[in-house]
Structure 1
Amino acid sequence: MPPDAVRRHPDVEAALRAAVVADVAWTVEGRPRLHGVLPLVGPDGPVLALPFSELATARSLAAAGRALVCLSEPEGVGRSWRPLAVRARTRLHEDPDGDVFTAILLEQELLRWPPSRLLADSVLLRREHWWWLPRLLVHLEVLEERPLAAREGPDDHLLVVAGDGAGDGAGDWPEAAVTGPTGAVRGAAPAPGPAVLLGQELSWPDLERWGRWSWQGRWDGEALQVEQAPESTGLPPVPGLLSRWRRHRALERSCRAGLAAARREAAGVTGP
């Protein structure tokens, strides 16, 4: 879709550029899904550049066709940042060679996401970690922004509710709000529906550790009726040398496997 075919939202794009992390929410079979992302802005507008290790997530987002991008984490952000939730339509462009990502979005990612610098901050690193450059580009056509409070500490949580609508009704759009330490909603409470309550904490300024945990259940309009609780909460411990190596190797294997699967599908090959 050419850039002039979509209405641009400069204030929203500025807030996304100034963010460090965001949460993207969408609905699958009436249940909310949540994923942590680094929001980028390209020539055509906002975009999520997911590695091929997240092939299933990118395709699920594209299949949903609509998503809610939530900016609620204020730490480390730029001057143009502000808390908000953005309704957007999704469109997936697979970039298996990484040409589009490297030419247009890589520098923006390196400036804002230190873990990526360990993989792609030089020509030599990019050759060694070639599997990090192919990306799944989920383009976001911004439709409207909605109010959202900022998280004020690790005891605040992001509540995302799928809603009970159907078809093209309100239930297709997740709703979000931030809750305080007591569980009280800041601002307007979402309507009842299947819900996820997300907690997260990041290590600053290296961003090496990103702890995310959630409770799943049903929001009744005032409280979450928990059906599934997390096994642990809080920031993961500082990894040792062996843990870092294993994590690196696992990421490589996952990226290469996703890329190989996408290439087999593109070539019409079925099976492993």
Structure 2
Amino acid sequence: MPPDPVRRDAQVEAALRAAVVADVAWRAGDRPQVHGVLPLVGPDGPVLALPYAQAGVARSLAAAPEVLVCLSEPTGAGAAWAPMSVRARPRLEEDPEGDVFAATLLEQELLRWPPSRLLADSVLLRREHWWWLPRLLVHLEVVGTEPLAARTRPDEHLLVVGGADGTRARVVRDLPRVGPPPGPGAAGGDPALLLGQEVSWPDLERWGRWTWRGRWDGSALQVEQAPETTGLPPVPGLLARWRGHRALERACRAGLAGAGGPARVTGP
């Protein structure tokens, strides 16, 4: 007998389509992880289409029993957007030629993510930047949703806690009371991270993200690792843009090579 069809949630899918950026949280080992994503909705439901430069992230995500897609960033979001946490079961599909992505998801990405337009907004650009189209598609089977506040102020952060009962997320205003790392023999609390971010609108060229990592005891984050910088990165100059482009190309090619994907030669 064929498998039962996956239950679709129209409200969740509408909110994901309306979002510009989201955060996906999951637990790897005994630590919570978080990664910035563009949530898409394909023919089979919600999906994250990560380039091969992020192959490690995609495979770590897919190995988790559940992930939490957090919609808390309202910048540029459409009318159907709503703040929420979407709990889902991930499934990885590798698309090393980029055929599935180009046919079903590329147009959606181009409409919502201006940086991708510089790489794939025409047939000529797609031919030149062929390494941008291959994707690791993390399909999401929605299990349920949980309430989550929107981040509307610079002093609001996303707290992600990886406890024994799964990954949880909430938005906290200003930094919570931050204490020192627990001493020898102290219980310490659950592994946690605190995420801050800022995006440049409307070009979305810059996406600043910074995290504090430590343990959450229910009222304080006991910091073990603090960010070196916070806030929006400076506007890159011409040389910095060129270097960033070449670094992205090398990372995508390396990820494809590691997966046994195509190796093409374009240009010098």
TM-score normalised by L of structure 2: 0.91
Residue 206 of structure 1 is aligned with which of 200, 203, 208? 203
Contact 1:158 1:198 in 2 (8 A): yes
Contact 2:62 2:138 in 1 (8 A): yes
Deviation at 1:3, TM superposition (A): 9.5
> Distance in 2 between the 1:65 and 1:178 partners?
23
2:157 maps to a residue whose letter is H
> Distance in 2 between the 1:263 and 1:144 partners?
36
Higher helix share: 1
* Residue 73 (structure 1) aligns with: 73
Contact 2:110 2:117 in 1 (8 A): yes
Q: Alpha carbon RMSD of aligned pairs, Å?
A: 1.5
1:226-246 CA-partner distances (Å, limit 9, x unpaired)? 110000000000000000000
Contact 1:9 1:142 in 2 (8 A): yes
> Distance in 2 between the 1:43 and 1:22 partners?
20
Determine what percentage of the aligned residue pairs are the same residue.
74
> Distance in 2 between the 1:236 and 1:52 partners?
24
Does residue 17 of the first structure (1) align with residue 14 of the second (2)?
Answer: no
Does residue 177 of the first structure (1) align with residue 170 of the second (2)?
Answer: yes
* Helix, strand or coil at the partner of 2:148: coil
Aligned 1:86-235 pairs, distance under 5 A: 86-163=86-163, 165=164, 170=165, 173-181=166-174, 183=176, 192-235=189-232
> Distance in 2 between the 1:146 and 1:66 partners?
14
> Distance in 2 between the 1:195 and 1:114 partners?
32
* Residue 250 (structure 2) aligns with: 253
1:86-141 CA-partner distances (Å, limit 9, x unpaired)? 11000000000000000000000000000000000000000000000000000000
* Helix, strand or coil at the partner of 1:208: coil
> Distance in 2 between the 1:8 and 1:233 partners?
38
1:110 maps to a residue whose letter is L
> Distance in 2 between the 1:130 and 1:9 partners?
33
In structure 1, runs of 5+ residues without a counterpart are 185-191, 267-272
Mark the CA change 1:210 to 1:10 in structure 2 (over 3 Å): closer, same or farther: same
Number of paired residues? 250
> Distance in 2 between the 1:176 and 1:140 partners?
18
1:201 maps to a residue whose letter is E
